Amino acid sequence: MRIKISGLENGTNEYDFEADIKKIGLIEPLFGKYTTNVVLNKFDDQIILEASTTAGANFICDRCGTALKQTVKSKYKMIYLLRSIEGAEEEINITYLSPDTHIIDISKDVRDYMILSTPMKRLCKEDCKGLCAKCGVDLNEKQCDCNDDEIDNRWKVLLELKNKSNKN
């Protein structure tokens, strides 16, 4: 995703990109094509770029194991300063460009923000009840007959401490 900035007039410019996710190095669980919309505001000494990207993803619910498809969305904003400053360190979301730069390549940024936007907790629905730890029944579909009163022997000591502190 390369945007030619040499000769670009000041003002707002909009670009749309669509390609296979593999073209920018994205892999599973993302699949298919990604779409990126870029709004670029150019001024005399800076460019403000706002990008939003979407792609499909195949996930497995972390609680019940159901396969699900979701859309992953990412947005980011980058400021490009069009001046050469010796010894200047790049700050987060600010990039210094040489005045003779002709093209901005945003592929790596789009890839990185999509990876960061992939959810850590993947649920089929917010109130997913998951699977019974004893019998494995999907609690979203039916209630199991397992007895929840049984306590694992490894935790009995903590229960005794709790009961002892409640008496005091």
Domain final position from 92, 117, 142: 117
Overall pTM > 0.75: no
Residue 124 lies in a domain: no
**Tens-place pLDDT, residues 60-94:** 999 999 999 999 999 999 998 876 555 555 556 77
- Average pLDDT in the 126-145 region? 88
Residues linked to residue 19 through DSSP beta bridges, in sequence order? 34
Residue 125 lies in a domain: no
Q: What is the pLDDT of residue 86?
A: 56
Domain that holds residue 146: 132-168
104 and 159 in a single domain? The answer is no
Domain count within the chain: 2
145 and 81 in a single domain? The answer is no
Residue matched to tokens 């009163």 = 149
17 and 42 in a single domain? The answer is yes
Position 50 pLDDT exceeds 90 = yes
61 and 139 in a single domain? The answer is no
